A and B are shown apart, each in its own frame.
Chain A
Amino acid sequence: MDIPFVELKGINKKFGTVVANQNVNMTINKGEIHAILGENGSGKSTLMNMLSGIYMPDSGQILLEGRELKITSPDDAINAGIGMIHQHFKLVDVFSAKENITLGKKDGLFIKGKELSRQIREVGDKYSLRIDPDKKVYNMSVSEKQTVEIIKVLFGGARLLILDEPTAVLTPQEIDNLFSILRKMRDDGCAIIIITHKMDEVMAISDRITILRKGESIATVNTADTDVKSLTEMMVGRPISLEIKRVTTDPEKVKPILNVRDLVVEGVGNQRLLDNVSFELSSGEILGVAGIAGSGQKELCEVLAGICRPKTGSAIFKGDEIIGLSPREIIRKGIKTSFIPEDRLGMGLVGNMNIVDNVLLKEYHNSNKMFMSRKGSKQISEQIIEKYDIKTPSVYHQVKKLSGGNIQKVLLGREINLAPQLLVTAYPVRGLDIGASYQIYNLLNSQKQDGVGIIFIGEDLDVLMALCDRIMVLSHGEVMDIVPADKVTKEQLGMLMLGHKNFDTEGHND
């Protein structure tokens, strides 16, 4: 038998008392695309970060071509030919593409600009990766940044390429393109590891799959010999249906509540962040919002929350104009937003404060006195904890120390407790494991059935298509189309996300 290119033996890693990886074993061969499949929190990224030198294993061995390799820093990993493309790109914003690519390389004291640009084009041509070497990263789109990362790793002569959730931010078309590049690299003899939790992608791209569950390696299988059902079972640990239910609302509860017309938001240099956005929303409906990251989702949320004033346009909520109202007046009208832009604690919660003080955020201004009392908030906190089964030592526990799912439940629980009529939620399951995600979906569904109008901003097209009634696609701040979720295909959504408006959508009736 051939010696595998890289072998992991009995890898263990703990963070404090949290076990991230336990007795992980796997092998990676040259010329294969190896998928690592696991839920959020199953230790995929941690494991790969040990290969790329960001973390060090507490115990266990890493073998490179049969010889033990000590990786104590990213430098060691790079020297061993291991390159990783992190989920959150590690690029310097104010640097150009070529400066980022050459960063950390060790050839000569001075930087040779022209020579470098030529070499970058050479590598790019080989794999049809197109990038302007002098473009600054802060001017780049997400997929351009990814291209820079890939060229950077190739430039370092990597023989093992690790990609952490590379598809999360791409459209279906961009994903196809990425996959064909990866296949080309594989055929050139590169070993490729791709971390993901999406089944169909795993089936489409990989040669072999290693499944991680709760930090342990469960099995390695050949992709050709397995199917989605058994993969899911291995990943979650029990048979589970990955179907998300779309519930129907009692038609009596369905009435138009929100009418948005011609919203325009301008950013720096009169660039339109929202461009004539119009849509309607009924109570008892979930309207999904799809789009590449930064297509205007954030601005839409902020307009509805009253944080951002649009240049023109109107938003009529139950007969009243809400544009121009302060956030507090909007909250009083029954519009609740739980907007989580980058990370869960980004907007909506204060990580360093306890649950009571976080609940207080939406309560404290109700009294007209200068002083405030925390009594009411404490009661509400206790109710939320009980109702949504939040795991916390006490109501006075710092929110940031809770698990992701519990943090999300504190946030949603607080908003739902305010009996909203319109709920705006962005990426509510980001980073959650499957169990916690389904709890959130159920929560949203039951709100829908109670007659709440819901705007659900999502990134996983499968979820959007399964959960929502209609999907609105944004591209560069413009509404490309609003399509019925049960009749649209992923490819069509992808085309819309890329800004291609004119194609026939079957059964499209707008």
Chain B
Amino acid sequence: MDALALFLQTAIQMGTPMLLATVGGILCEKSGHLNLGIEGMMLIGAVMGFKIGQVSGNPILAISAAAISGGLAALIYAIITVTLRGNHIVTGLTLTIFGTGVANYIGKSIVVPALPESVKAPFRSINIPLLTKIPILGKSIFNQSIYVHIAIIIAILAYIYLNRTRLGLNLRSVGENPAAADASGINVDLYKYVHIIIGGALCGVGGSYLSIVEIGWRDNLTAGIGWIAVVLIIFSTWDPLKAMFGAYFFGALRALGFQLQSIKLPFSGETISVPIQLLDMIPYIATIIVLVLITIRKKEENQAPASLGSPYFREDR
């Protein structure tokens, strides 16, 4: 029982940065913009959150720095793809390269890879009274860093925003058919900018989870998590609630990788090692399978926003 709770707890922790980045990516893609720069924005957020946290000793400043720097990186992407109508794929890839460069450059100035206690303390796991008493789920969900809870709340809010509010409806129309949105009096470019930037900010915060809570700063610390987020966006069929389960599922796979390296066989007591690299493949193969499944099902509502990846210019005829 405890082992299972611990495993779930770890899975949720490992899924949290992915969840934040995925929700950010969903908001961005719902505006019709495919952003492959998530990895870059996460790295920038990670390094800035860490650096500012270290310098200021203020946890709120640290998270804000992560969000703002992620948002600024997304702003570059927005200017090029929205206003200047650049190719989404190449711009996104470039943002990842650029972000990696910026993060590693700033990272070089971090000499001591430790955060002051004032920044670390608020993000430690907290026990929410009573709720933690629920068997298994209690510990795994409610005995967590506040980051984890914020991520869950953001995902739920994003879901309500997209599906229940006018702004969300408008945003979806921008991603589906910008010409229709425009003709309905919606400021298409504004919606795109705002959601690309918010998306970037969430990626930044997601990155900062890695540097502030999980690992500390090191070069390329995201190690592909940003790309998994790109996948999770599709995996979740652009739904923030499903993204939550997707992220924790992938988190579990990450956790599994750590735990399964050696298994004690129950009877003989022998230890066999399971090649961790093969386990690491699972998320990616699972994603391909899911991709195939959603394309086979061809449900209109499950498809990518119709205008994803294509530029919009009002006077195009």
Contacts and interface: CB of A to CB of B under 8 A. Distances in A.
Interface string B256-287: 00000000000000000000000000000000
Which of A94, A95, A102, A138 has most B Cβ within 10 Å?
A94
Contacts of B172: 92, 95
Interface in B151-203: 164-167, 169-170, 172-173, 176-177, 179-187
B167 A94 contact: no
Of the listed residues A77, A103, A108, the one surrounded by the most CB atoms of chain B closer than 10 A to its CB is A103
B2 interface: no
B177 A78 contact: no
A447 B260 CA distance: 76
Interface string A89-108: 01111110001101111101
Given A74-B185, A75-B185, A93-B300, A103 B169 contact: yes
A-B pairs, 4 with minimum CB distance: A104-B184, A75-B185, A90-B180, A90-B183
A92 B183 CA distance: 11
B181 A104 contact: yes
13 contacts: A15-B315, A52-B183, A54-B314, A75-B186, A75-B187, A92-B173, A94-B300, A106-B166, A109-B166, A110-B164, A111-B166, A111-B169, A136-B300
Interface residues of A, number: 32
B31 to A, nearest CB: 14
A252 B275 CA distance: 81
A135 interface: no
DSSP majority for the B interface? helix
B306 interface: yes
Given A54-B182, A75-B187, A102-B169, 6 more contacts: A54-B183, A90-B177, A94-B303, A103-B170, A106-B166, A109-B166
Contacts of A15: 315
Interface of B: 164-167, 169-170, 172-173, 176-177, 179-187, 300-301, 303, 306, 314-315
Interface in A466-484: none
B289 to A, nearest CB: 23
B220 to A, nearest CB: 38
A111 B165 CA distance: 6
Contact of A103 (B179, B180, B301, B303): B180
A258 interface: no
Contacts of B186: 75, 103-104
B185 to A, nearest CB: 4
B314 to A, nearest CB: 6
A57 B308 CA distance: 30
A105 B180 contact: no
Interface in A51-95: 52, 54-55, 73-75, 77-79, 84, 86, 90-95
B177 A110 contact: no
Contacts of B182: 54, 74, 90
Nearest to B302: A94
B313 to A, nearest CB: 11
A82 to B, nearest CB: 11
Contacts of A104: 170, 173, 181, 184-186
Nearest to A52: B183
B183 A95 contact: no
B48 to A, nearest CB: 32
A105 B166 contact: yes
Contacts of B306: 93-94
A105 B177 CA distance: 17
A220 B7 CA distance: 79
B165 A110 contact: yes
A73 B315 contact: no
A87 to B, nearest CB: 11
Nearest to B305: A94
Contact of A94 (B164, B187, B301, B315): B301
Contacts of A91: 177, 180
A92 B175 CA distance: 10
B291 to A, nearest CB: 19
Contacts of A111: 164-166, 169
Q: Which of A90, A102, A109 has the largest number of chain B CB atoms within 10 A?
A: A90
Contacts of A86: 183
B180 A55 contact: no
Contacts of B300: 93-94, 136, 138
A6 to B, nearest CB: 18
A90 B183 CA distance: 7
Residue of B176, B177, B315 with most chain A CB atoms under a 10 A cut-off: B177
B207 to A, nearest CB: 30
Contacts of A138: 300
Given A74-B184, A108-B166, A111-B164, A92 B314 contact: no
A103 B177 CA distance: 12
Contacts of A94: 176, 300-301, 303, 306
Contacts of A55: 314-315
A260 B81 CA distance: 51
Contacts of B185: 73-75, 77-79, 104
Nearest to B299: A94
A84 B183 contact: yes
Interface string A134-164: 0010100000000000001000000000000
Most chain A CB inside 10 Å of its own CB: which residue of B165, B176, B177, B180: B180
B103 to A, nearest CB: 37
Nearest to A56: B315
A110 B170 CA distance: 12
Interface in A293-319: none
A103 B172 CA distance: 10
B167 A109 contact: yes
Contact of A93 (B166, B167, B177): B177
A99 B166 CA distance: 10
B260 to A, nearest CB: 41
